[in-house]
Copies of this chain bind each other. A is one copy, B any other.
Amino acid sequence: MLNRPIILGIVGDSAAGKTTLTKGIAQVLGEDDVTIICTDDYHKYDRAQRADLGITALHPDCNHLDIMEQHLALLRSGQPILKPVYSHKTGMFEAPVYVKPNKFVIVEGLLGYSTRPVRQCYDVKVYLAPPEPLRAEWKVKRDTQKRGYTEAQVRAEMLKREPDSEQYIRPQRSWADMIVSFCPPKLVEAINGHLDARLVLRPTIPHPELTQVVASDVTTPIKSAIRLGLDRDMGKPVDVLEIDGHTTREQVRELEKFICNEIPDLLNVCAADDSTMELGKVAGTTGETIQSYPLALTQLLIVYHMLKAITIK
């Protein structure tokens, strides 16, 4: 239908879960149809240069934001790019790679919503905002296991980066259509190993009419495991969809069917009886298998918006 790819943004701080969510969504869409771009490749300085200059990778001046804008605009118009390649393993740049956009492009990174021209390139903008202690835990785990740092080094780096996180990363939350937070369950008795999901839905893209199927806290005497409620985020009105880790298969299936019903292509995704489990299953960066109903519904809702974007005139 469209002559250009559909572009999804996944923005969030270091170790917020961007790569894992990206991988899960690519699985649902079909990996052959998806091009994944990581904007860390647009760093201006390698690791040694950043240390010399005393600049963190989170600072806009440490990134070729104008080239990032240019490349995303080219991809959006269906053109190929010669993408720079930054290696997190060596902290250095490698030979650039030729990238042709597939039907879907997922752009994940730290500063993906930091300028107006780059924001205009996305069809769907997601921001990942886990609670800071959980993010710290994830970052320590990944950087010690995959990037050769010690825990002390990772914690020192996070402290050093905090002012830039505060000034440049977290404000990007305000540009997102959907803010995704996976959080440890608040009720101790509810802990079953699965995180809760809290999805902030801004009225900037056409979310499904969830009021038709999801109970609101106000009208249900017993607290449901999936709830929709009005709230404010950064001072502005939003819907908040909460999916508890202890939600049941039946509750999830009902919502899943409602979302899929609106998009013909999605009916295939949720047709299989075990679709919910497949949807919510993804390999984490540090090798573990992550599998949960809240993750399944989060992925489904993002995929819903990507497929819906194809039909928007």
Cβ-defined contact, A96 with B84, below 8 A: yes
Asked if A79 lies at the interface with its beta carbon under 8 angstroms from chain B, I say yes
Q: Which stretch in A66-74, A173-181, A183-191, A250-258 binds the other chain?
A: A66-74
User: A93–B96 Cα gap in the complex (Å)?
Assistant: 8
A44 to B96, CA, bound (A): 10
Contact with B along A81-109 (1 / 0, CB 8 A): 11010000000111110100000000000
Known: A44-B98, A70-B74. A64 touches B92 (CB 8 A): no
Q: Quick one: closest B residue to A98, CB to CB?
A: B64
The answer to whether B44 and A95 have CB atoms under 8 Å apart is no
Distance in angstroms between the alpha carbons of A70 and B100 in the assembled complex:
13
Query: Is the C-beta of A278 less than 8 angstroms from some C-beta in chain B?
Result: no
Judge if A46 is at the interface, Cβ distance under 8 Å.
yes
Chain B residues near A60 (CB-CB < 8 A): none
The reply to whether the CB of A80 lies closer than 8 angstroms to some CB of chain B is yes
Question: Are A80 and B67 within 8 A (Cβ)?
Answer: yes
CB <8 Å contact, A67 and B95 = no
Q: What is the minimal beta-carbon distance from A227 to any residue of chain B, in angstroms? A: 46
> Which residues of A from 145 to 161 have beta carbons under 8 Å from B?
none
A92-B95 Cα distance, complex, nearest whole Å: 8
A70 proximity list for chain B (CB < 8 A): 74, 79-81
Selected contact of A93 from candidates B46, B92, B95, CB within 8 Å: B95
Cβ contacts under 8 Å, A67 to chain B: 80-82, 98
Chain B residues near A44 (CB-CB < 8 A): 98
Other-chain residue from B66, B92, B94, B98 in contact with A80 (beta carbon distance below 8 A): B66
Contacts of A42 in B (CB 8 A): 82
The residue that A84 contacts in the complex, of B64, B79, B82, B92, with Cβ under 8 A, is: B82
- Quote the shortest CB–CB distance from A6 to chain B (angstroms): 22
> What are 12 residue pairs bridging A and B, where the CB atoms are less than 8 Å apart in the complex?
A44-B98, A64-B82, A64-B98, A66-B80, A67-B80, A70-B81, A82-B84, A84-B95, A84-B96, A92-B95, A93-B94, A93-B96
Told that A44-B98, A82-B84 touch, could you supply 15 new A-B pairs with CB distance under 8 A?
A46-B95, A64-B82, A64-B98, A66-B80, A67-B80, A67-B82, A67-B98, A70-B74, A70-B79, A70-B80, A70-B81, A82-B96, A84-B95, A93-B94, A96-B96
- Interface positions of A (Cβ within 8 A of B): 42, 44, 46, 64, 66-67, 70, 74, 79-82, 84, 92-96, 98
In the complex, the 8 A-B pairs of residues with the closest C-beta atoms, listed nearest first: A93-B95, A67-B82, A84-B96, A96-B96, A82-B84, A64-B82, A64-B98, A66-B80
